[in-house]
Amino acid sequence: MNDHGYSLDAYVADLRRITGATRDEDEILAEVGPLAQRLALDKSWLEERHYETDPGQGFGVHLLHEEPDHSLAVFVVAWLPGRGAPPHDHGTWAVVAGVEGTERNTRYSRHDDGSREAYAELTEKHAFDAAEGELICMKTGGIHAVQNNSDRVTLSLHTYGKHINHSSRSQFDPEEKSKSDFIVRVE
Ligand SMILES: [Fe+2]
């Protein structure tokens, strides 16, 4: 850690402090957001291998940190040009900060009550392009899709209340009104 920088270790210490002091997701997002931005812009943690992608799923997921109970999970995700992730939730709170390039984020509203197995009604709420240092914060239940419309690999820093393969999250097909488990391959 240099004198003026912000290291991954310092970020993890801040995550522990913030989530130790409150369980209120609005408070957590308000405090974690600016710190995630700071770490995304610092880039002291960034390594060449974080640009590696998985053509099978369209993006590469690289774990930077998780607690032994899978909470406070931090990833860098590398997105292939023209690829993305379908609408999905996270089963926990999520803070995404742009690191390199611009990613289109589309937010959705869910209208059914969740009582029907494998069924979900979604409509698009709004879409925006998240560039370097820009934030997307979602409480538990927030749904978004990500798309890299550029011609090169983009990177973003993702922080979750729980590791995304341990938080029982879902992916959605708005056309089919269907819902299924969303498990990703993590490097
Ligand atoms: Fe996501």
Predicted local confidence at residue 168, as pLDDT: 85
The percentage of the chain sitting over the pLDDT mark of 90, rounded to a whole number, equals 95
Average pLDDT on 49-59 reads 97
pLDDT, one tens digit per residue, over 111-168 is 999 999 999 999 999 999 999 999 999 999 999 999 999 999 999 999 999 999 998 8
Report CA(115)–ligand 1 centroid distance (Å): 23
Predicted local confidence at residue 1, as pLDDT: 44
Report CA(142)–ligand 1 centroid distance (Å): 9
Query: Does the pLDDT at position 3 exceed 80?
Result: no
Report CA(3)–ligand 1 centroid distance (Å): 32
The structural architecture, per CATH, of the domain 8-181 is Sandwich (2.60)
Predicted local confidence at residue 70, as pLDDT: 97
Report CA(93)–ligand 1 centroid distance (Å): 10
Mean pLDDT of the chain: 95
H/E/C letters for each residue in the chain?
CCCCCCCHHHHHHHHHHHHHHCCCHHHHHHHHHHHHHHHHHHCCCCCHHHHCCCCCCCEEEEEEECCCCCEEEEEEEEECCCCEEEEECCCCCEEEEEEECCEEEEEEEECCCCCCCCECCEEEEEEEEECCCCEEEECCCCEEEEECCCCCCEEEEEEEEECCCCCCCEEEECCCCEEEECCCCEC
Report CA(60)–ligand 1 centroid distance (Å): 13
The percentage of the chain sitting over the pLDDT mark of 70, rounded to a whole number, equals 98
Query: Does the pLDDT at position 20 exceed 90?
Result: yes
Report CA(89)–ligand 1 centroid distance (Å): 6
